[in-house]
Structure 1
Amino acid sequence: MKAVAPGTVIFHRHRGYGVIVHVNLLTGWISARFGNESRTLDLNLSSDEVQHADGEPILFRRMPPDRMPHARLMAMVRELHKAGYQKLYLYSWPKPSGLHWRWHLFTGKRDWMQRPWREGWYGSGAEYNNNPVMGWGDSPGATTDELIHALAKFDPQGLAQALGKDEDHTAWFADVCDLLLPGYMYSLDMQRATAGGLRDMPAVPVVPVRAGLPHYSGPSISWPPGWAGLWTRTHAMPTRRINLTGEPELR
């Protein structure tokens, strides 16, 4: 199948030849401009019989795909844990708007408070909507094994940092995957403190990754190892005291 991207010349049986100006590979909708028309026309690749310029049909899967990649990432991390890459951690949290969820795969020492400083790979559900790939040379809809091989080829040094044992986290992660996959993902976003303070143990948010799925109604999942007590203190790294006098401080 040929690539479908902005700038691709297409043929439509009612409009003739045109050029794609926008593609949403998650939903299968494109915007195209035909002839001298100043406005674009929205077309669905599943039902509007769009063709390449040489007459080859452009086919798009009719099943609604995952609207965010987190469940696919969870399946990949579980397989890497089985292969000995247990120092690989998946953190996910919502954007301020609440419409999309970000994700961060990080390696090395497990320290949730220092996660932003850990090496790894980032992504956003908002970007995934228009380009449903993780960003390390994978293809849209790649299987778990294909995702693993693409990541190992893209950044072998980075993935090597995940080699090692973390049996507590691996066991927790396997249990969570058994409960949630393939339709749901977890978010490690902690509730903000209110006037009454933080609760001792708020619930772990669970979110469907596919449109049309009901709200999660299964067993509650626990927080990952290493999160005990994080709800009762400030969730920020301590900063060094600034010395404006220029005089050395006694310790």
Structure 2
Amino acid sequence: MSKSDDAYSRPVAGYPSRRLPVFNVQVRFVARLIEDLERSITRLFAAPSLERIPLDRFKEVWDLPAYQLFCEGSYACGFVCNDYDDFFDLRAANADPRATLNACSFADLRHYLHTLQRAERWADGYSSPILEALASGSLTVVKDRFLSDETLVADSDGSPPVDTQDRALREGHDLLVALRSHRTITVDMQKLDSAASAGVGFDVIMEGMENGGVGFYDGKGISIAMRAIAGKLLWSAVTAEKLAVDVRPVSLTPASDPVLRRAVRLLSMVHELHKAGYQLLRISAGMAPSGNHWRCYVTTADNVAQNGWEIIDEGIALRYSTGDGGRFFGWDDAEGMDARRLAATFLDRFPEMKRKGAGNDWAYAGWFTSMLGAAENGELPIFFADYELKPVRHQMPPAPINVVGSQA
């Protein structure tokens, strides 16, 4: 296809569908155009307020640049559409602007501006519905809501409000917004795969096709459809039934066994490091070949296999064995240190671990907290041994995540 044959390389005649989204930046732009028009009108008529402007002098308004920009901007930003079957009640809006327009959704306000602009054209020089909307305060209510009503916009990142008549699109979009409020979520990949295989989110595509597929020929429409599908899929993966949960007594005193007590102290040190922002530090714990001593490696997430615990390169991991007694990592001065002092010393003596261990991994830190609770009750984590192990999935650590951003 040559560039000249590409439909996207040249303007298209006509108006958009009301099913195509309007972006937040377009909403704010139209609000600013209304604001400019208000100032220009009051200056033109030297009126103390908009409600005092003379409606019979509407022809003087037509040559105002602010009036022309408001009309053209409403069309350009997608507020005048080609597929409304009816019209907004402008008389009701002018009679009681706040009661009528403050209760409107974004789709209703878009319908209002569509009707207002079409009415302005149909007035054919005999009146100006736009001037009447300014005098009644209707346009001021719309402007104020566009500028300050956060319920009208989807997100702060510029994603578009969605027409509430598109049920599946609206539902998926709302689910994604709800998930984003958590910032970080844990996704069960098996359930995500099952949801995708079951066709979750396909109703968004079907809804678009039933509407003539109009939204799928526009970049904004495709973007909002993809977000809606993502919302439905992710929601299916994070709201599934709970995995098995082990509850246990609260540990009120340290273990009487000195071997267990030192092992828990080491795990508590890692927990303290997680609390300090070093959640990319991980452990790999198990039994020595002799079966007599518990071993625990401390390393960073980039040195751990996808099973969540297996060390890739033991040469760059730090090892502790209960056979070492209180000499954590070979330190002769560690015997009297508590978990917090061990954590601070760890950062001082292992600067490379400190650098690579800084970062957030909420899933692993949460798993570690639960594991530590079990260890305080005598159940040390064991991922490897010379005898057969039967790991329980929810008791095993999650896989390491990709690290986003640079590390200090």
Normalised TM-score (structure 2): 0.31
Normalised TM-score (structure 1): 0.48
Higher relative contact order (CA 8 A, sep 6+): 1
Q: Which structure has greater strand proportion?
A: 1
Rg: which structure is higher? Answer: 2
